[in-house]
Chains A and B, each alone.
Chain A
Amino acid sequence: MKIYHPFPIVLSVLLWLSLATAAYAQLTIEIIGGGANQVPIAIAPFKGEETLPQKVTAVVVADLVRSGLFRIVDSGGLTAIPAEPAEVQYPVWTARGADALAIGSVSPLPNGYWDVRFRLLDVAKQAQLTGFAYQVTTQQLRSTAHKIADAIYEKLTGDVGVFGTRITYVVKQGTRFELQVADADGYGAQTVLASNEPIISPKWSPDGTRLAYVSFERRKPIIYIQSLLTGGRTVAANFKGSNSAPAWSPDGRRLAVVLTKDGNSQIYLINADGGNLSRLTQTGTIDTEPSFSPDGQWVIFTSDRGGSPQIYRVPVGGGAPERLTFEGSYNVSPRYAPDGKSFVFIQRNGGRFNVAVQDFVSKQTQVLTENGIDESPSFAPNGRIILYATEIRGRGILAAVSSDGRVRQRFSAEIGDVREPAWGPISRSQ
């Protein structure tokens, strides 16, 4: 089954975003398409935010628009901006077609912090849906805005918001490779590792504090684990031959890795500290790209044991692998959905490589993209968005598509090629 996306580019959104991102952006985002049923929501400017270096509502609006699930109702031209429920004139918002209204305020505290208050109101019922107050530093205003957007998203869609999460990816600029981590909206990119040799396959530890990746800095692929807290790193796998394709177990204690120490590329399990190695697959063919199921009981992977690369599933404790893909002669790069009910992968069709999702029960496959040079797909932690790498005019960029194929985004760096993306987990305290 193939789904087409006739949605036009929303120009006003593009303009708005480019203005909003100009000051900071290392990655800029472009939205294509939109959800079928967008929630109309008004975000009143927060009282007191006019003078802030970072306007909270601008970030909230950008997050909600990016999801494709919201239509922003104009909140301009008011004589008095409501900051408290008692100040809200509901008929005004009803007339403008808003189902929901966010109001709030930002006020300075004597200790240099900011007091950020926010309420989400149901316009029809004239009732509060949710509300929060935060005391934050100036540097935390952006992440606070993401928390507000997450709260709105969760209340109005019933899904977990991922605006406050982070992504990782590799930027190649000339002969320089940088492993970077940025907020999910592309802001605040920081370099975790810089090297003159390639870096591939970064994977977040389940708690979001570490990255496993493959670096070629010693003239062969070696798997490292690097702490985002200390910057310190350890070697997870450096055996004779190639060491690649790390995947974290859901408890963060083990990795599935691909080693060639015994000959051909095979999947092994190893402790994150490099100990307790055991072999998971036993073939004379290629077995690679492992991904753990969310319950930790299964590993899906790519194998050409049947003559062409296809996706298989094997119990973590060992056993007979089961073939999952049958359509086409090249199905690779599988990753489990967070709910374990489906997996995303790359399917080659007539020389074109597209992102596809297959349901475990129905075995139905849905091709979600049509750019033809897509790679390295992974789910956002709420399962609603798939992040992947692609190319535009020969340049590597990141792109995202909603898991129903309706909403798309592109992330591009000002310079260089961006590739190998992975979406980080939801912070447990959120």
Chain B
Amino acid sequence: MRKLIFSIAALALLAGCASQGAKEQPGAAVEDRTPGVGEIKPPVTVKPDRAPVAKPVTSKPIVANPLKDPNNILSKRSVYFDYDSSVIKDEFKPAVTAHARYLSQNRSAKMVIQGNTDERGSREYNIALGQRRADSVKQMMLLLGAQESQIETVSFGEEKPRAAGKDEASFSENRRSDIVYAGE
């Protein structure tokens, strides 16, 4: 059942990724250049496009989901990094290993690894650094039996900090890769 749910959720994610942007009108290139203003249209408002989460239609109690069980190592979803580093420290290797094993045992399971950085430096360069942190976790999982098709790595750079402070404690909290399974 769980595998089915993941497949549905993955499909929903894929559907959500298809282009929904309104096409530009071909005649739109003519601009009124009289002095003045007013060519800017009302704002586009977007809401985060969350993938719909499929819920099992069953009255039976669900067997404990290892991904949700707080006592299971699979509940550990964050890998922390040193400044300007994407090296996975020993303390996080057991969790990464457990997730790799889960992926290898559940071939329909998919995850996104989201890389993050602290706020210092260029936003775009931090996107690339966050990507490297996500990729570092992915590479370890691939070596341990996960498949390329099961993992997408993306970066939030410094854009979605978990800690808002400007001290080292906040910075180190934000130097992180998060594991999010499809449908979560």
Q: A-side interface residues toward B, CB under 8 Å?
A: 134, 136-137, 139-140, 142-144, 147, 164, 178, 181, 183, 188, 190-198, 200-201, 207, 209, 215-221, 224-235, 238, 240-242, 244-245, 258, 260, 263-265, 286, 288-289, 302, 309, 330, 332-333, 346, 348, 353, 375-376, 394, 420, 427-430
Contacts and interface: CB of A to CB of B under 8 A. Distances in A.
Contact of A332 (B21, B50, B122, B131): B122
Nearest to B29: A209
Contacts of B127: 200, 221, 242, 244-245, 258, 265, 288
A213 to B, nearest CB: 11
Given A140-B34, A142-B37, 4 more contacts: A197-B160, A220-B154, A244-B155, A264-B128
Interface string B3-34: 00000000000001101011111001101011
B169 to A, nearest CB: 16
A194 B131 CA distance: 25
Interface string B129-146: 101100100000000000
| Residue from A219, A226, A427 having most chain B Cβ neighbours under 10 A | A219
B132 to A, nearest CB: 7
A229 B28 contact: yes
B61 to A, nearest CB: 31
A288 B155 CA distance: 13
Contacts of A197: 46, 48, 160
A207 B31 CA distance: 10
Contact of B44 (A140, A233, A288, A394): A233
Q: For B123, B131, B153, which residue has the most chain A Cβ atoms within 10 angstroms? A: B123
Given A244-B124, A302-B122, A224 B21 contact: yes
B42 interface: yes
B70 interface: no
Nearest to A429: B33
Contacts of B45: 193-195
Contacts of B152: 220, 240-241
B40 interface: yes
A228 B23 contact: no
Interface residues of B, number: 52
A144 B35 contact: yes
Interface of B: 16-17, 19, 21-25, 28-29, 31, 33-50, 112, 114, 120-125, 127-129, 131-132, 135, 152-157, 159-160, 166
Contacts of A196: 47-48
A218 B22 contact: no
A228 B41 contact: yes
A260 B156 CA distance: 13
A75 to B, nearest CB: 24
Contact of B123 (A142, A188, A258, A375): A375
Given A233-B21, A235-B21, A194 B43 contact: yes
Given A219-B48, A346-B122, A228 B39 contact: yes
A376 B123 contact: yes
B21 A232 contact: yes
A178 B24 contact: no
A258 B43 contact: no
22 contacts: A136-B36, A178-B43, A188-B37, A193-B45, A194-B45, A196-B47, A198-B156, A198-B160, A200-B159, A217-B49, A219-B112, A221-B154, A221-B155, A228-B39, A228-B40, A230-B25, A232-B22, A235-B19, A241-B131, A260-B131, A288-B128, A309-B122
A215 B31 CA distance: 26
Contact of A263 (B21, B42, B135, B154): B135
Contact of A218 (B17, B35, B156): B17
Contact of A198 (B29, B35, B159): B159
Contact of A191 (B43, B120, B132): B43
Nearest to B154: A220
A394 B124 contact: no
A43 B43 CA distance: 38
Contacts of B41: 227-231
B36 A137 contact: yes
Contacts of B38: 139
Nearest to A183: B37
Contacts of A221: 127, 154-157
